[in-house]
A and B are shown apart, each in its own frame.
Chain A
Amino acid sequence: MNKIPVIIKREYLTRVRKKSFIIMTILAPVLFAALVILIPFLMVSDKGDFKKIAVIENGPGLLKNALKDTENEKYVYLENTSVSDLKKNFEQAGYYGILYISSSDLMIVPNAIELISKKQPPPILLEHIEGAVEKEIEKIKLEALNIENLDEILKNIDATVQVKTIMIDDEGATKETSTDIAMVLAYLGGFLMYMLVFLFGAQVMRGVIEEKTSRVVEVIVSSVKPVQLMMGKIIGIALVGLTQFLIWVVLIAAIVTFVNTTVLKDKDMTEIVQNLPQNVMSEGQQAVAVEQVNQISPELAEFSKFFDNAMNQNWLLIITSFIFYFITGYLLYASIFAAIGSAVDNETETQQFMLPVTIPIIIGLMVAVGTMTNPESSLSFWFSIIPLTSPIVMMARIPFGVPAWQIAVSMFLMVITFIAFVWMAAKIYHTGILMYGKKASWKEMWKWLRYSG
Chain B
Amino acid sequence: MPLFEAKNISKQFASTVALDKVSISVPEQCIYGLLGPNGAGKTTLLRIINQITGSDSGEMFLNGKKLTPDDVLGIGYLPEERGLYKKMKVGEQALYFAQLKGLTKVEAMKRLKYWFRKLDIVDWWGKKVEELSKGMQQKVQFITTVLHEPKLIIFDEPFTGFDPVNANTIKNEILFLRERGATILFSTHNMASVEELCDNITLINKAKTILEGRVDDIRKQWAANEFDLVFQGNVKIEENGMYKILNHQYENDLSTIRLRTAGNIEANDILKTAINAGRVVSFNPALPSMNEIFIRIVESRN
Residues of chain A touching chain B, judged by Cβ–Cβ distance below 8 Å, are 1, 3, 6-7, 10, 14, 210-211, 214-224, 434
User: Once the chains bind, are A6 and B99 in contact (CB under 8 Å)?
Assistant: yes
User: Once the chains bind, are A218 and B79 in contact (CB under 8 Å)?
Assistant: yes
Q: What would be 16 A-B contacts, judged by CB atoms less than 8 Å apart?
A: A1-B102, A3-B102, A6-B96, A210-B85, A211-B85, A214-B82, A218-B79, A219-B79, A220-B83, A220-B100, A221-B50, A222-B50, A222-B72, A222-B73, A222-B76, A222-B77
Given contacts A217-B83, A221-B50, 19 further A-B contacts (CB under 8 A): A1-B102, A6-B96, A10-B96, A14-B88, A210-B85, A211-B85, A214-B82, A214-B84, A214-B86, A216-B83, A216-B85, A218-B50, A218-B83, A219-B144, A219-B145, A220-B100, A222-B75, A222-B77, A224-B100
* Contact code string B147-179 (vs A, CB < 8 Å = 1, else 0): 000000000000000000000000000000000
Is B53 interfacial (CB-CB < 8 Å)? yes
With the chains together, A211 CA to B88 CA distance in Å? 12
Residues on A with beta carbons closer than 8 Å to the beta carbon of B96 = 6, 10
User: Once the chains bind, are A219 and B81 in contact (CB under 8 Å)?
Assistant: no
Is B244 interfacial (CB-CB < 8 Å)? no
User: Once the chains bind, are A3 and B52 in contact (CB under 8 Å)?
Assistant: no
Residues on B with beta carbons closer than 8 Å to the beta carbon of A216 = 83-85
CB distance from B16 to the nearest CB of A (A): 11
Q: Scan residues 83-104 of chain B and give those whose CB is less than 8 A from a CB of chain A.
A: 83-88, 96-97, 99-102
A7 in contact with B100 given A434-B52, A434-B53 (CB within 8 Å): yes
With the chains together, A424 CA to B229 CA distance in Å? 71
User: Once the chains bind, are B75 and A14 in contact (CB under 8 Å)?
Assistant: no
With the chains together, A220 CA to B101 CA distance in Å? 9
Most buried by A among B50, B73, B77, B99: B99
User: Once the chains bind, are A215 and B81 in contact (CB under 8 Å)?
Assistant: yes
With the chains together, A217 CA to B83 CA distance in Å? 7
A219 in contact with B97 given A1-B102, A434-B53 (CB within 8 Å): yes
A219 in contact with B102 given A14-B88, A434-B53 (CB within 8 Å): no
Residue of B nearest to A435 (CB): B53
CB distance from A4 to the nearest CB of B (A): 10
A-B contact count (CB 8 A): 63
User: Once the chains bind, are B101 and A223 in contact (CB under 8 Å)?
Assistant: yes
Residue of B nearest to A221 (CB): B52
With the chains together, A220 CA to B53 CA distance in Å? 14
Residues on B with beta carbons closer than 8 Å to the beta carbon of A215 = 79, 81-83
Residues on B with beta carbons closer than 8 Å to the beta carbon of A217 = 83
With the chains together, A222 CA to B76 CA distance in Å? 8
Residues on A with beta carbons closer than 8 Å to the beta carbon of B73 = 222-223
Residues on A with beta carbons closer than 8 Å to the beta carbon of B52 = 218, 221, 434
Chain B interface residue bracket vs A: 20 to 34
Residue of A nearest to B88 (CB): A14
Q: Scan residues 101-141 of chain B and give those whose CB is less than 8 A from a CB of chain A.
A: 101-102, 141
CB distance from A386 to the nearest CB of B (A): 38
Residues of chain B touching chain A, judged by Cβ–Cβ distance below 8 Å, are 47, 50-53, 72-73, 75-77, 79, 81-88, 96-97, 99-102, 141, 144-145
Residue of A nearest to B71 (CB): A222
Residues on A with beta carbons closer than 8 Å to the beta carbon of B50 = 218, 221-222
CB distance from B106 to the nearest CB of A (A): 14
Q: Among A10, A14, A214, A219, which residue has its beta carbon within 8 angstroms of that of B77?
A: A219
With the chains together, A217 CA to B102 CA distance in Å? 17
Residues on B with beta carbons closer than 8 Å to the beta carbon of A14 = 85, 87-88
Residues on B with beta carbons closer than 8 Å to the beta carbon of A220 = 83, 97, 100
Residue of B nearest to A214 (CB): B83
With the chains together, A371 CA to B165 CA distance in Å? 69
Residue of B nearest to A216 (CB): B83
Residue of A nearest to B80 (CB): A215
Residue of B nearest to A453 (CB): B69
Residues on B with beta carbons closer than 8 Å to the beta carbon of A219 = 77, 79, 83, 97, 141, 144-145
With the chains together, A434 CA to B102 CA distance in Å? 22
Residues on B with beta carbons closer than 8 Å to the beta carbon of A218 = 47, 50, 52, 77, 79, 83
Residues on A with beta carbons closer than 8 Å to the beta carbon of B72 = 221-222
A3 in contact with B86 given A215-B81, A222-B75, A434-B52 (CB within 8 Å): no
Residues on A with beta carbons closer than 8 Å to the beta carbon of B102 = 1, 3, 223
Residue of B nearest to A213 (CB): B81
With the chains together, A218 CA to B43 CA distance in Å? 12
Residues on B with beta carbons closer than 8 Å to the beta carbon of A223 = 73, 97, 100-102
With the chains together, A216 CA to B99 CA distance in Å? 15
Residues on A with beta carbons closer than 8 Å to the beta carbon of B51 = 221
CB distance from A452 to the nearest CB of B (A): 13
CB distance from B32 to the nearest CB of A (A): 18
Residue of B nearest to A220 (CB): B100
Residues on B with beta carbons closer than 8 Å to the beta carbon of A434 = 52-53
Residue of A nearest to B148 (CB): A223
With the chains together, A221 CA to B100 CA distance in Å? 10
With the chains together, A7 CA to B101 CA distance in Å? 12
Residues on A with beta carbons closer than 8 Å to the beta carbon of B144 = 219
Residue of B nearest to A433 (CB): B52
With the chains together, A415 CA to B230 CA distance in Å? 84
With the chains together, A10 CA to B51 CA distance in Å? 25
CB distance from A116 to the nearest CB of B (A): 64
CB distance from B128 to the nearest CB of A (A): 11
With the chains together, A223 CA to B83 CA distance in Å? 13
Most buried by B among A210, A217, A434: A434
Residue of B nearest to A229 (CB): B100
Q: Among A1, A7, A214, which residue has its beta carbon within 8 angstroms of that of B85?
A: A214
CB distance from A228 to the nearest CB of B (A): 10
Residue of B nearest to A18 (CB): B87
CB distance from A436 to the nearest CB of B (A): 9
With the chains together, A3 CA to B85 CA distance in Å? 18
Residues on A with beta carbons closer than 8 Å to the beta carbon of B83 = 214-220
With the chains together, A394 CA to B82 CA distance in Å? 46
Residues on A with beta carbons closer than 8 Å to the beta carbon of B97 = 219-220, 223
With the chains together, A218 CA to B144 CA distance in Å? 13
CB distance from B75 to the nearest CB of A (A): 6
With the chains together, A220 CA to B77 CA distance in Å? 10
Residue of A nearest to B105 (CB): A6
Residues on B with beta carbons closer than 8 Å to the beta carbon of A7 = 100
Residues on A with beta carbons closer than 8 Å to the beta carbon of B85 = 14, 210-211, 214, 216
Residues on A with beta carbons closer than 8 Å to the beta carbon of B100 = 3, 6-7, 220, 223-224
Residues on A with beta carbons closer than 8 Å to the beta carbon of B84 = 214, 216
Residue of A nearest to B70 (CB): A225
